[in-house]
Amino acid sequence: MATGQIFSCSTQALFYNYKQLPIQRMLDFDFLCGRETPSVAGIINPGSEGFQKLFFGQEEIAIPVHSAIEAACAAHPTADVFINFASFRSAAASSMAALKQPTIRVVAIIAEGVPEADTKQLISYARANNKVVIGPATVGGIQAGAFKIGDTAGTIDNIIQCKLYRPGSVGFVSKSGGMSNEMYNTITRVTDGIYEGIAIGGDVFPGSTLSDHVLRFNNIPQVKMMVVLGELGGRDEYSLVEALKQGKVNKPVVAWVSGTCARLFKSEVQFGHAGAKSGGEMESAQAKNQALKDAGAVVPTSYEAFEASIKETFEKLVEEGKITPVKEVTPPQIPEDLNTAIKSGKVRAPTHIISTISDDRGEEPSYGGVPMSTIIERGYGVGDVISLLWFKRSLPRYCTQFIEMCIMLCADHGPCVSGAHNTIVTARAGKDLVSSLVSGLLTIGPRFGGAIDDAARYFKDAYDRSLTPYEFVEGMKKKGIRVPGIGHRIKRGDNRDKRVELLQKFARTHFPSVKYMEYAVQVETYTLSKANNLVLNVDGAIGSLFLDLLAGSGMFTKQEIDEIVDIGYLNGLFVLARSIGLIGHTFDQKRLKQPLYRHPWEDVLYTK
């Protein structure tokens, strides 16, 4: 491995398996360091393509998303780092696929628990092809002021506190990602900071070793001293011991191997990492510390003394003129995300939508302030749910029964009406359910099913102004307006619509008052004197009876009743009800496998 620097301020990466937070942290670090281009060139998310919006400083950018590693590498040939956030199940296969790409030079594997046999294959392939593997079970690595992998060094606040936004003089390598964050802080307190930091990962077989990176650091002119944090278990540290003995390292190395407390336990202890388990005296922390000290590394007497040893070594190099402490710079301010700022009370922002009928926050959704569990426990029906979501109150049972009755009676009126016909033709054209449903719903209007609101509006106005049926009908005639809710294509005075009769019977039995309905009946009596088909139809019945429901319940003001009619609530009942039938017609046609509909010639009048 050896050679030298593996990252720079122009390094770009491909990020495998989209994770918003670590990518945003990388981009925030880029901005903090003054990079001109984002360090994440592309995202690989198997099965997905497109773009992901993220922030680069104040600017919102779109990062390309690719579904395959090969496509991403071809699209971004300058991206030579592959950051793998795949699970341990797929990390090996995706990492090998990346290593085989000619453009990829470094692969970082975040997942822990990657099968050891797979890891060995990755290591073998990487070494044979002069590539670098960091991990598995790693948080990654960082070159101060230039590039970082994923969540390395934690939050922006921690990065600023550790002064990782500009390069220092210390090369640091550790097995532990968590301890790396601690050591970045420690090193910054007593030196001019980190130049490069690597966490090789805590699995038994890391893709690169402590000595691999120490030897790299030794070849980087800007690195003046190295700090190494090992741990008990395995023999990785002994490769560093050999490198020191052979004189391959000519810069000071301050090292400590954690796990000296293991001897206090009577039996073998497994620490956090898979590799942190002593398999004999040579793998103990004490033996490794002694070997490193004997080989020439600066090894303190305890972890508590580690900081002092680093400080002493750094100050000695400064005195010898080998280190000129880095001049401090002030990093730019990272814009705070709006959500974070709102939560902390720093800013306030207007909302874009107002909702008063439901709330999906908390443990369970609620309709009109009534929790979902309460709706089920109390045996509420569809009418009750409509009363909560449409009228924002729990209406009396007779009201909700009437609503349900309207829905049942208006659900369908055969295949010949315009809405059903449109839906049938659309379904037979091979269109999907939503398209077929909407094609039928679009026919609802003043001539088909959409006259309920108008019927209610005109009947209410006439009744409230005490107009006689004669004055009302003749007044509408003078205006050239047909009376909504009156008239039917089929029904007659001697063949009334059964639906109207059922609604009237229910209302007379249960409603406190049916004054608007009775007025509509009086209007019907007058219109029937003119023509036998000018009967009160279902639109007129529902419209007038809904006025009685609203007024008789005592739960709505006059202003609220007017608003309900004006907004179109009552037509909403027909839309909801008829959707049931239109969906049924769609399923019926598809179940029967009906072919494309073509209207017969003989049913068309061709004329000039």
Catalytic residue among 66, 76, 213, 273: 273
> Which residues in 513-577 belong to E strands, given as ranges?
none
| Residue linked to tokens 């609530």 | 569
User: Which candidate, 180, 178, 248, places its Cα nearest to that of 212?
Assistant: 248
| Amino acid, single-letter form, for residue 563 | E
Burial zone of 213 (CB within 10 Å; 0-12 exposed, 13-18 middle, 19+ buried): buried
Looking at the chain, the number of H-run helices and the number of E-run strands are 23, 16
Find out whether 493 and 524 touch, Cβ atoms under 8 Å: no
Under 8 Å between Cβ of 408 and 573: no
Distance CA 469, CA 62 (A): 66
For CA atoms 147, 153, 157, 163, give the dihedral sign: negative
Cα(413)–Cα(444) distance, integer angstroms: 13
Q: Write out the two tokens for 548.
A: 């009685």
Nearest Cα residue to 484 out of 390, 596, 571, 369: 571
In a 3-state reduction of DSSP, which class is residue 132? strand
In whole angstroms, give the CA distance from residue 109 to residue 297.
29
Task: Give the SS3 label for residue 440.
Answer: helix
- Contacts by residues 322-325 (CB-CB < 8 Å, ≥ 24 positions apart): 322/224, 323/169, 323/192, 323/224, 323/225, 325/169, 325/192
Q: Residue 328 has what DSSP assignment?
A: P
Q: Are 156 and 331 in contact, with CB atoms under 8 Å apart?
A: no
Find out whether 177 and 273 touch, Cβ atoms under 8 Å.
no
Write the CB contacts of 270 (distance below 8 Å, at least 6 apart in sequence). 276, 277
CA-CA distance, 143 to 170, in Å (whole number)?
Answer: 11
Q: Minimal CA–CA distance to 85: which of 13, 27, 32?
A: 13
What are the backbone dihedrals phi and psi of residue 292, each rounded to the nearest 5 degrees, phi first?
-65, -40
Q: How far is residue 456's CA from residue 546's CA, in Å, rounded to a whole number?
A: 8
Contact between residue 130 and residue 184 where contact means Cβ atoms under 8 Å apart: no
Q: Which of 436, 413, 429, 421 is nearest to 583 (CA)?
A: 436
Q: Point out which residues pair with 247 in neighbouring strands.
A: none
d(CA 344, CA 214): 42
Contacts of 320 (CB under 8 A, 6+ apart): none
Whether 273 sits among the annotated catalytic residues: the reply is yes
CA distance 542 to 499: 10
The closest alpha carbon to 517, from 555, 488, 552, belongs to 552
Report which DSSP code applies to 416: S
Cα–Cα distance measured from residue 50 to residue 73, given in angstroms and rounded to the nearest whole number: 15
Q: In terms of residues, how long is the chain? A: 608
Return the sign of the alpha-carbon dihedral for residues 244, 259, 179, 317: negative
* Positions marked catalytic: 273
